[in-house]
Structure 1
Amino acid sequence: MTTGHAHRTYEDLVREAVDAPVDGWDFTWFEGRATEERPPWGYARSMAERLAHAFAALDIQTGGGEVLAAAPALPPLTVATEGWPPNVTKATALLHPRGAAVVASPEDAPLPFADASFDLVTSRHPVRTYWHEIARVLRPGGTYFSQQVGPASAFEVVEYFLGPQPEEVRTGRAPERARADAQAAGLEVVDLREARLRMEFHDIGAVVHFLRKVIWMVPDFTVERYEPQLRSLHERIATEGPFVAHSTRFLIEARKR
C-alpha cells in the first residue's frame, strides 16, 4: 500500500528531498514516507541505563547529539566527539544545556583524551570503530556499548544503484569480525547480538533523502548522475508499492580487563 507521496510527480518529490536539510541524525523527515524496523534490544534505553550509573562517559561520533541528549540523566562528566562541522554545531546546541562537552574531532584521528579517562564509551552507528583507541581511553573495568551497522545493510538500495557488490564488501561489517577486533585490543566481549530489519521506501523522495543523508551507501550519489535509475524506481514504486530493503544491525558490549 502506498502513501499519497507516491502519486506526486517525480520532479516535485525529488526537489523536496534535495531541499531538505541532512545534518544530524534526526529522521523525522521520513515519517509517512519510509519505515524501518527497530532492533529488539532498544539501544537508546539501554544506553541511558548505563549512563545513569557512570561517572565519566564519552559518546563517539555523536552526530547531532540526539541519542545522548535523550538520556534522562547524564554522568557528572559527559563528553561527545563529532567530525562533521554541521553536526558539531547541532550537537553543541543540544548537549551544552545538559552540561555535556562537544569536541570537534575527525573520525579517523586518535581520540583527544588521556589514557583511562572514561568508565563508559558509547557509539551509535560509528562509521568505523577504532578499537585500540577505545581500549586506551577506557578505565580498567570500563565498558564500550555500541549499536553498529551490520553486513550488507540496505544492500537492496546499494546494489540497485551500483550493481552487485564483491563478497568482501558485503561481509565487511560482520559482528564476528568486531568481536575479534575488540579482543585483539584487549577487550572482553560480553554481549553480541544481530538483527535483520525490514525497510520500506514509499516514494522516490525518501530514497533521495536517504542517500543524501547516509552518504556512504552510494558515495558518488547525485540526482543528476543517477536520474535514469531514480525515474525508473519512481515508476516502480507508483505501480508496485514500496521499495523494500533490509538493514542489519548488531549490538556489541565489551569490557576492559
Structure 2
Amino acid sequence: MAENRSFEDLVAEGAAVPTEGWDFSWFEGRASEARPSWGYARSAGERLAGAGAVLDVQTGGGEVLDHALSGAEPRRPVSVAATEGWPPNVAKAAALLRPRGVVVVAAPDDAPLPFADEAFDLVLSRHPVRPYWAEIARVLRPGGTYFAQHVGPASVFELVEHFLGPQPESVRGARDPERERAGAEAAGLEVAGLRAERLRMEFHDIAAVVHFLRKVIWMVPGFTAEAYEPQLRALHERIVREGPFVAHSTRHLFDVRKPGH
C-alpha cells in the first residue's frame, strides 16, 4: 500500500512513469476524476458516424479519437486527419491511428492548420491548449461543426496553488467559456450549445501527484520533483495524515456551427 511506502520511493515511482499520450490507466487506484455527464468520446463517435471529412485537433496520443472511431463503426467517415504538436505524441498517435487510415500530421499548437479552406465538415478537439477560432472557421465547410471538450477556468487550482501560491484573477479566469464563446462568434461561428461542469478529483498518494504534474505540463510550468521537493513533502504528509487530496477540474463542451448550407 502507498501509505506504507516512503516519500522518496513514491516520488521516484511517479517520476519514472512514461508521460506520452493521454492514457491515464496508470492512475487507477491512485487518483480519480469524475467524468463530465455528456461523455465526450461517445458523443464524438455519434458525430463521426454522420460525417464525411473529419479533423481532430491536438489529438495527443490519439487514444480519444481511436475510441470515438470505434463508436462510429460501421458508419465511419470517408477521411480522417489529426494534428499534434508534441513529437512523442505524434509518434504514438501515428502508430495507433494510421492502421485505421487516419492521416496524422505534426503541427504546432499555435500555428495555422496545414489544410485547405473548407476541407472538413467536422472538427473535433479534446482539451486543446486554446481554440484557434479563425483557423477552425477557415477549415470548416459551410454548415460544418466544431465539437470539442475544453478545459475550463481554474481547473485543478487547489493543486496548482499548493505549488505556486495564490494566482491572480487574470490567471484563474483564463479559459473562461463565455470569453471563448465570444471568440467563436467573432470568427463568424454560431455557438449552438455550451455546457460546463465542475468535477471532483482525488489524489491518493504523492506518486500520482508527481506523475500528473509531469504529464499535464501546463499546470505547474517547469515542474520537477527536485525543484518542488518541499511542497511535495508537505503534501505527502498531508495525504498520509488526512487522506486523499481533493481538487476540482472544470470542463466545458462546445457545439459550434459554421453558417451556410
> What's the TM-score bracket when you normalise by the shorter of the two chains?
over 0.9
- 1:40 corresponds in structure 2 to 37
Query: Cα offset for 1:187?
Result: 0.4
Aligned residue runs from structure 1 range 106-121, under 5 A:
106-121=108-123
Cα distance between partner residues in 2 of 1:167 and 1:231: 28
* Structure 1 Cα separation of the partners of residues 217 and 43 of structure 2: 27
C-alpha deviation, 1:9, in angstroms: 0.8
Identical positions, percent: 71
- Residue 76 of structure 1: CA displacement? 1.0
Report the secondary structure of 2:221's partner residue.
coil
Which one of 12, 15, 37 corresponds to residue 15 of structure 1?
12
How far apart are 1:7 and its partner, in Å? 2.7
Q: Please tell me whether the aligned partners of residues 142 and 255 of structure 1 are also in contact (alpha carbons under 8 angstroms).
A: yes
Amino acid at match of 1:14: V
Partner of 2:64: 67
Secondary structure of 2:249's match? strand
3-state DSSP class of the match of 1:109? Answer: coil
Greater Cα offset, 215-224 or 132-141: 215-224
- Which structure 2 residue ranges, 5 or more long, are not aligned? none
Q: Once the 2 structures are TM-superposed, how far is the Cα of residue 148 of structure 1 from its aligned partner?
A: 0.5
Deviations 1:67-105 (A, max 9, x none): 111122331100000011100000001001111110000
Aligned with 1:253: secondary structure? strand
Aligned partner of 1:51 among 21, 32, 48: 48
For 1:51-200, list aligned pairs within 5 A.
51-70=48-67, 71-72=69-70, 73=73, 74-200=76-202
Distance 2:165 2:96 in 1: 39
CA contact (8 A) 1:115 1:136 kept: yes
Name the SS of the counterpart of 1:206 in structure 2: helix
Matched, 1:253 2:259: no
TM-score using structure 2 length = 0.96
Give, in angstroms, the shift of residue 171 of structure 1.
Answer: 0.8
Equivalents in 1 of 2:170, 2:23: separation in Å?
31
Q: Residue 212 of structure 2 aligns with which residue?
A: 210
The Cα shift of 1:149 comes to: 0.3
Match of 1:22, SS?
A: coil
Structure 1 contact 7–238 (Cα < 8 Å) conserved:
no
TM-score (norm 1): 0.98
